[in-house]
Amino acid sequence: MIPHRPAQRTIARHAGLWMSFAFAFTLSLAGCARTAPGSIRQADRIVVVKSTHTMTLYAHGQPTAIYRVSLGRGTGAAKVREGDHNTPEGLYTVDSRNDHSRFHHALHLSYPNVADRATAAKLNAPPGGDIMIHGIRNGLGWLGGLQRHADWTDGCIALTDNEMDEVWATVPVGTPVEIRH
């Protein structure tokens, strides 16, 4: 009869968990922002493409940074009403900045626009609001790029905290934001 060795099983289980975490962390680094050298300058336009989970900053018509983003945890369709957890599609502007948000920095978007209000009215529903570009929830910044592996927001556009620091430094109020499918 082989003696029961619970300590060895516990060590093996913990080692497996740490290896899984290390592998996931390594994968998360693969989607880091791609920024052209010396190109961190004020953005004059942002384009979010939901189908590719990318957000591109532009200055004078040239891309200056591309980020992999997480979006709303809804169906992936355009936002049509409050509580659907979808990221809207359309033309918006950054209308305010909040560095005291529950997330690491937040750029508030001008959602809902006229078309969004009309769509919600046809459904006899409120359109919702508080759509932002933001970092990870405060206190969870250690998640870093792991947050990219799932859409988890209520309809917002989320980046890592380090990426949000770059965006925060280069995107002023009034910047146009186009969100496409």
How would you classify the pairing of strands 157-158 and 62-68?
Answer: unpaired
Classified as helix, coil or strand, 65 is strand
Among the options 104, 105, 108, 134, which is catalytic?
134
CA distance 31 to 54: 10
The residue with tokens 């791609």 is 34
Among the options 14, 85, 156, 181, which is catalytic?
156
* Other Cβ atoms closer than 10 A to 157: 26
- 105 noted as active-site residue: no
Please give the DSSP secondary-structure letter assigned to residue 177. E
Which residues, in sequence order, are CB contacts of 88 under 8 Å at separation 6+? 78, 79, 111, 112, 116, 131, 155, 179
- 134 noted as active-site residue: yes
Residues recognised as catalytic = 134, 156
